[in-house]
Structure 1
């Protein structure tokens, strides 16, 4: 169990049962571990809801908003926000939010991307947890932090479902990373 996971070993093992690996995706040399099959059954949906509720309790009183990163952060961000009774703010890929937006381009392990946010979606000083599904090299979370800081937000923590430790993405990040599964 990762020391930054709020799960016990049994809960982590239950979640791991849903993870499927896809070699050579999205490009040769990459093995993509997919945790999203958890949504393919009512038992899995109940499990992820229970685990995200448990995580949300650790944030109570510490954050004002949940920031969800497109696309799979959109699956878990609203659940965490619902359990905390706080807003959920989208950070999207370029072209997926109407103007006005603030954008930031960045590099990731297999290409380049641009993310955007509507500037009035975060109030100056809002304390934020940034939610994504996967931490690899840290590029997306780092870019999101830069973007959120530009609009006045204060990142306090990152949450991901899975992390590939050998890629050392945490080393690029300024704030604590909480994850359910790390390899």
Structure 2
């Protein structure tokens, strides 16, 4: 990794806060809010994602962001790349005809959906979110994109919690993470 990229990665890392016992006892929550508050840190995240995509996924046509923090990074990246952005939302939040999948979360169950006309069959997509923990939410997004017959190029996250092995659930899809704990 180039020195400039390494500096950006250090900047991102320095803007992630840890909150013990949130949202419940025994969980160490990694907070990205300081990244969003600092223009240089937010630019660094976008730069690092853009660099990765331009080097590895030149054929991408859509960035697909997961509710809700994928919405923070995805549109910025899509704009930089000159491609579209699509939302995957929690059930009941999108108008019109939707496709949906049910999935398990770390703390319960949920359902995700996408507007049926937002992704065309064979469109090349990259999924983006802030965090990969157990992989449940990203796995649901992958299943949703498969329902849409999209070509999934990979997944991207700001933070990966390695000890929870979320990447194993997403195989054979690749996961690119900026920061790992």
- Give the TM-score of the pair, scaled to structure 1: 0.90
The within-5 A match list for 1:109-124 is 109-124=106-121
Q: How does 1:1-16 map to 2 (within 5 A)?
A: 8-16=5-13
Match status 1:164 vs 2:124: no
Q: 1:83 to 1:68 in 2, by over 3 A?
A: same
Provide the rounded CA distance (Å) in 1 between the counterparts of 2:168 and 2:50.
27
User: In the alignment, what sits opposite 1:74?
Assistant: 71
Give matches, 1:13-162, under 5 Å: 13-59=10-56, 61-162=58-159
Deviation of 1:95 (Å)? 1.7
The separation in 2 between residues aligned to 1:145 and 1:60, in whole angstroms, is 17
Deviation of 1:143 (Å): 0.7
Distance, in Å, in 2 between the alignment partners of 1:8 and 1:46 is: 12
Distance in structure 2 (CA, Å) of the matches to 1:143 and 1:60? 22
**Contact 1:56–1:83 under 8 Å retained in 2:** no
TM-score, scaled relative to structure 2: 0.91
Between the aligned partners of 2:94 and 2:51, the Cα distance in structure 1 is 31
Contact 2:9 2:44 in 1 (8 A): no
State the superposition RMSD in angstroms: 1.7
Which runs of 5 or more structure 2 residues have no equivalent in the other structure?
Answer: none
Offset from partner CA, 1:59-86 (integer Å, 9 cap, x none): 5522111100010000010111111111
Distance in 1, matches of 2:43 and 2:108, equals 35
Contact 1:162 1:182 in 2 (8 A): yes
Residues 59, 96 of structure 1: alpha-carbon distance in 2 compared, 3 angstrom cutoff: farther
1:154: Cα distance to partner? 1.5
Q: Which has the higher contact order (CA 8 A, sep 6+)?
A: 1
CA distance in 1 between counterparts of 2:159 and 2:105 reads 17
Unpaired segments ≥5 residues, structure 1: 2-6
Secondary structure at the aligned position of 2:44 is classed as helix
Question: Aligned pair count?
Answer: 178
